[in-house]
Chain A
Amino acid sequence: MTEKRISHTDLPRLLARLRERGPVHAPLEDETGDAVLTELSSDDLISLRYRNFRLSPKSFLLPQNQVLFRFQDGKEEEPALPDREMVVFGVRPCDAKAMQALDKVFLDGDQNDPYYARAREKTVVIALACTRPLSSCFCTSVGGGPGDGAGADVLALELDADLLLRALTPGGERLLSSVRDLLCDAAPSAVKEAEDRVRAAEEQIAPVKVDGSAQRLSNAYDSPLWASVSQKCLGCGTCSFLCPTCHCFDITDEVRGGTGRRVRTWDCCAYPLFTLHGSGHNPRPTPKERWRQRIMHKFRYAIENFGRPFCVGCGRCIRSCPVGMDIRTVLKEIGV
């Protein structure tokens, strides 16, 4: 696990070399100036000035719109699964950790989701540690941190002139050794400086009380507070769609005559129709039941089933909620 080093000016060469083996997605600025993970072509200049992306990178593993198979006149055709390795560079540690959470759902060993499994197998994640957290970040309270590489193959740490690279998995080691002629060893002082920056970032993150959430939530199921904390919710779906750990999906057939396709799309438990039965009965008829379910799923059921909360503290739901709901406030008000 020796750290390697590459200068920022040489980084484009490394990415160009990686592009020879397969697609590379890295942060590029779009026309509004936002950083978006985009497939690199030859001249693109990446930008590392972002805090985090609007959309989480979960769409690399679980696309919003995924064709499972097509059919025409009785013949079925499955789309080819990716067979080239893809590199995603610049994923923040919270989003990489979220991929580990998704692994628990889709790769449980017993019934692996073949589409997710192939995508995960073929995706190499290079995470970029954070040095400037946002006030909406709380990764440290849910088992993560600005320099936590869990879920990634390589962790990159920023210094002024250089980027340090640390392989975390055999896949990461393979990747770094394939470009070893572009890398040097990092000096221990450089490693220390990078880690100091990460530690400074950790200290800026305000803690949120989440410990013991599973027990406290199981005691709070019938609390009358659920109605009041949830009454502002519009059921708009923004939080789930932007959340890196949310993974509920719907499967529909789109058919015209004898031709069609079966498609998997993202779904959201906050939608009023999410649990609408064919009979017309809806067991979660109001925002109260839906928000209770959301919090329970993330901070109790996930812990009971998978040993970890299904929240990585990325803060996207807080920043994007059209009515300013804050999951940290909800947790506090409900007594976690």
Chain B
Amino acid sequence: MTASHEIENRLRATAEKLLREKKVDLFLGYEKASLPFRTTPLLLTAAEEAGRLVWNSFCTVNLAVYLPRLFKAPADAREAKSATPPPKVGIVLKGCDARSVVALIQERQVPRENLVLVGIGCPGVVDAQKAEKTLGEHEALGAGEDAQGSIRAVVEDGTEITLYRQEVLADACLECRSPMPAICDLVLGGPVEAKETDAARRRAAEFESKPPDARWARFQEMISKCIRCNACRQACPMCYCKECLLDQTRPRLIGAGTDISDVTIYHLARALHTAGRCTECGACVRACPMGIDTRLLTRKLSLEAEDLYGYRAGQSADAIPLLSAFAMDDPQDFLTEPSHLPAASSSAQEAEQARRAK
């Protein structure tokens, strides 16, 4: 595994060159944030400021979320006349983020030719909430990563505490199967291999082994904390609709408050709308201020997409999106078939029998 500060240096050099040579108008990356265990997105336009870019295990945001807004098509012909041409954008991507970009390309939200994709094999990122919790009573005033990837935090009384990486990695990273970006123009750093490739399947199976009543109870308990802030949706690169169906008022689909029925429908509908598009990056979980594990639902749908249709989101920019495609022999064992036919008029019955005979 290439040390993160080495990759950081290469990243800064790459961004500086791309901006200086005007291969990109804007470079999307990360810079230091004001609190430990975090970085903050940087939309860099000046080549000489490339030194602000960082690369470490705190680069958690899925930067693909900024792409749809950079490439919004003009609303009408009049706007089109005065619109500036779409920018050329460089972006640094972990494995999951790169798949989100591919999914956006598949859905025609961003033009491939305007993107310079700088990929980095990702060994996992730290969940700031988990890290803070591990410190218990202490508050980290600074945190960093050493060459071996251990996380070191300096707390308020000056002592340095080493955090066990497995304990503070984001949940999504513990189940990651695609640490290497699927599609990119350059790769910085060496290859990274996925470790627990069936972790997601095991988690889903574990939940499914509970009886239905227990599953429902656990699901309701988990989402009862939801305050309907919509952070999960806004952090998701695939939720780019100008007006979300769940915000629509004419007609209104769900209420705006925290009635448990509305919260339930919100989460089920959002999971279904991202089915086959979600790349399991975990941005939703990390964005949630209440610590809800929204991936409980999306994990299941991603596995179903794979099992039923052999489809994984964001693998290939030419693939037709899951729910725009079909095969004649797609499974349909879930259909309802009548157990018997009632006595009907003879012509209808004959027609029915003839049809079945075909």
Contacts and interface: CB of A to CB of B under 8 A. Distances in A.
Asked if A and B touch directly (CB within 8 angstroms), the answer is: yes
Given A65-B257, A265-B257, A322-B287, A241 B227 contact: yes
Contacts of A242: 289
Contacts of B230: 236-237, 271
Q: Which has the most chain A C-beta neighbours within 10 Å: B141, B243, B290? A: B290
B291 interface: yes
A237 B256 CA distance: 13
A219 to B, nearest CB: 25
Contacts of A272: 242
A238 interface: yes
A54 B255 contact: no
Contact of B229 (A228, A238, A252, A324): A238
Chain B at the A interface: SS class: loop
B38 to A, nearest CB: 5
A186 B185 CA distance: 70
A120 interface: no
Contacts of A273: 243, 247
A234 B35 contact: no
Interface in B77-112: none
Nearest to A30: B225
A263 B231 contact: no
A73 B249 CA distance: 23
A254 B35 CA distance: 41
| Category for how many chain B residues contact A | 35 or more
Interface string A240-254: 111000000010101
Interface stretch (B39-47, B298-306, B308-316): B39-47
A267 B249 CA distance: 14
Interface string B216-258: 0000000000011111011100000011000101001001111
B33 interface: yes
A268 B229 contact: yes
A111 interface: no
B231 A238 contact: yes
B137 interface: yes
A74 interface: no
A232 B256 contact: no
Contacts of B255: 252, 254, 263, 265
B33 to A, nearest CB: 4
A49 B1 CA distance: 40
A236 B231 contact: yes
A326 B33 contact: yes
B227 A322 contact: no
A236 B235 contact: yes
A132 B242 CA distance: 43
A294 interface: no
A320 B289 contact: yes
Given A32-B291, A324-B33, A326-B34, A235 B234 contact: yes
B256 A263 contact: yes
A234 B234 contact: yes
B283 interface: yes
Nearest to B250: A278
B234 A135 contact: no
Contact of B35 (A54, A238, A318, A322): A318
B289 A135 contact: no
B6 interface: no
A308 interface: no
A304 B258 CA distance: 34
Contact of A324 (B40, B66, B235): B40
A78 B248 CA distance: 27
B139 A134 contact: yes
Given A33-B133, A323-B61, A324-B39, A329 B229 contact: no
B65 interface: yes
A100 interface: no
B34 A234 contact: no
A38 interface: no
A51 to B, nearest CB: 8
B289 A241 contact: yes
Contacts of B283: 322
A89 to B, nearest CB: 21
B286 interface: yes
In the complex, the 8 A-B pairs of residues with the closest C-beta atoms, listed nearest first: A65-B257, A324-B40, A322-B287, A324-B33, A236-B234, A236-B231, A237-B229, A265-B257
23 contacts: A32-B133, A54-B289, A55-B227, A64-B228, A135-B35, A135-B141, A236-B235, A238-B289, A240-B229, A241-B289, A252-B255, A263-B256, A265-B256, A266-B227, A276-B243, A320-B289, A322-B61, A322-B234, A322-B235, A323-B61, A324-B34, A326-B34, A329-B34
Interface of A: 32-34, 49, 51, 54-55, 64-65, 132, 134-136, 228, 231-232, 234-238, 240-242, 250, 252, 254, 263, 265-268, 271-273, 276, 318-320, 322-326, 328-329
Given A54-B289, A136-B34, A242-B289, 6 more contacts: A54-B290, A134-B139, A241-B229, A273-B247, A323-B61, A326-B40
